Structure 1
Amino acid sequence: MEKHPEERLSSDADPFRGDPNFMASLARGLEVIQAFTPQRRMLSISQISQKTGIPRAAVRRCLYTLGKLGFVYAADGKHFELRPRILALGHAYLASTPLARATQPVLKHLSEMLDESCSIATLDGDDILYIARVSSSRIMTIDLDIGSRLPAWSTSMGRVLLSHLPEEKLNDLLGRITMIRYTSRTVESVPALRAELKKVRQQGYALNDQELEMGLRSIAVPLMNEQGQVHAALNVGVHAGQVSAAELRERVLPELQKAARELALLLD
């Protein structure tokens, strides 16, 4: 049975076995941090061990160290959660990357003009990672903010990014993902997803119509530099009951593309 991406974390270090410069303890600590998600904010030692494949004794030592450094804590001594200090780990990236640093004004303007939520994400492994977001209202049951992650294959921004991957990388990703039927509209098979990605690349945008969550529609476009390289994706999310798919294409897409052209000036 194909494992969920989160269950494969501990296997990521395998290529580095025998490398004297590779710090396995640091890698394990990072895996423990990544085990926490918006859906699983509190985890026990055994849950983290099961999720990462790291032995419980090693997980305990990682949590002890992270706790001493102020990155995690457990009010009851058993169920751990991340502390705000964890944000410092990503601050250097967000503060030094022109795209992440300079997009908020453009996103804010786009959100106010459309009166909808707007986001920018990059591809990180099999997921998309939100690096900028302006929310006009809560349209998902899942809270999304900077640093949030979602499976790339099931999101509009993810599909834009996947559609521009080299064939070999795309094949590798499609060969290991676990496709979950989030709603009755979710793409059900890898061949169907592959066909959708081909369509996305040809038309220059991705429209996700309630595949991730009923009541949510989103449309996304790539953020490219002058050489045509895709660095990130930009999207607008709307209430399906208020904005039709046709309106997304006719009213929202042109503004989204215009904003993408402005943001492209920030890319090398």
Structure 2
Amino acid sequence: MPTSSASTNGSAKSATNGGVQSLERAFDLLERMADAGGEVGLSELSATCGLPLPTIHRLMRTLVACGYVRQQPNRRYVLGPRLIRLGESASRLLGTWARPCLARLVEETGETANMALLDGDEVVYVAQVPSKHSMRMFTEVGRRVLPHSTAVGKALLAHSPEDEVRALLARTGMPAATERTITTAEGFLAALEDVRRLGYAVDDNEQEPGVRCLAVTVPGSPTVTAVSVSGPACRMTEAATERIVPALQQVAKDLSQTLTPPPPTT
């Protein structure tokens, strides 16, 4: 399947890393579809990726045939169901890869460590290592929460465009989980500004009474990811925050290296 004027056998090599160019282009199209919310038209893809329409059409036909993309009656394309199994497996492995780093975070801070992703409009916890304290925080892996009341939610959304954050909050609403929950878009946007200024996010009794949580983003992660430390507010004091945040930031850097795909072998 040719994908460029320089290739006639479907095995064009990328000039940058020796990979197969048609595969790189196909995965790039899938990622652009995900960025667009999962549904696009050919002209939209052409405008964003710069490939000719015939090339995009050939790639999309192949992805449809494999089940990774589905074409709607209106001729637009949506991400296909076969991606679900890949995503579920990747999520499980993500938690496995993260556990050693989270375990180290527990040893250094004494509190429960979590890792979370933004899945659609919700935060989903994908890994956890609990504290050794008898009084500790426990969040079930797979649990979903709204981002406005959590430190991980703030960390995940801190660098998103304001209009996207407002649209998300409009879709989910901002119900009060506690009397400390932020329930206005303006208040949440101000909290995101604090995250950008401080370098970490705080949930101060906003999701559960008596619980305080600190979170940071994992830099350079393939998907926006956050790690957090949570515990009883009586232990998660300001003095503890000064000690915990550097440990959180270091673990986030280490996780970034773990999650960054290695360069292809030659």
TM-score (norm 2): 0.62
Match of 1:210 among 201, 205, 216: 205
- Indicate yes or no: 2:151 matched with 1:156: yes
Q: Give the unaligned 5+ runs of structure 1.
A: 1-11, 31-87
CA distance in 1 between partners of 2:92 and 2:136 (Å): 28
| Partner secondary structure for residue 217 of structure 1 | strand
What letter matches 1:266 in structure 2?
Answer: T
- Indicate yes or no: 2:234 matched with 1:237: no
Q: Is the 8 A contact 2:215 2:227 kept in 1?
A: yes
How many residue pairs get matched?
Answer: 191
Quote the residue 1:92 is aligned against. Answer: 89
Q: Is the 8 A contact 1:153 1:162 kept in 2?
A: no
What letter matches 1:181 in structure 2?
Answer: A
Q: Give the unaligned 5+ runs of structure 2.
A: 1-36, 41-70, 261-266
Shift of 1:14: 11
Bigger relative CO (Cα 8 Å, ≥ 6 apart): 1
**RMSD between aligned alpha carbons?**
3.3
Quote the residue 2:176 is aligned against. Answer: 181
CA distance in 2 between partners of 1:185 and 1:204 (Å): 22
Shift of 1:102: 1.4
Query: CA, structure 1 residues 14+95, in 2 after alignment: closer, same or farther (shift >3 Å)?
Result: closer
Deviations 1:129-177 (A, max 9, x none): 111111125645xx62221111111100010111111334223212222
Quote the residue 2:6 is aligned against. Answer: none
- Indicate yes or no: 2:257 matched with 1:260: no
CA distance in 2 between partners of 1:267 and 1:14 (Å): 27
Q: Is the 8 A contact 1:155 1:208 kept in 2?
A: yes
CA distance in 2 between partners of 1:201 and 1:232 (Å): 15
- Pairing of 1:21-170 with structure 2 (within 5 A): 91-96=88-93, 99-136=94-131, 139=136, 144-170=139-165
Q: Percent identity?
A: 32
Q: Which has the larger Rg? A: 2
Quote the residue 2:73 is aligned against. Answer: 18
TM-score (norm 1): 0.61
Quote the residue 1:195 is aligned against. Answer: 190
Deviations 1:45-97 (A, max 9, x none): xxxxxxxxxxxxxxxxxxxxxxxxxxxxxxxxxxxxxxxxxxx887512355x
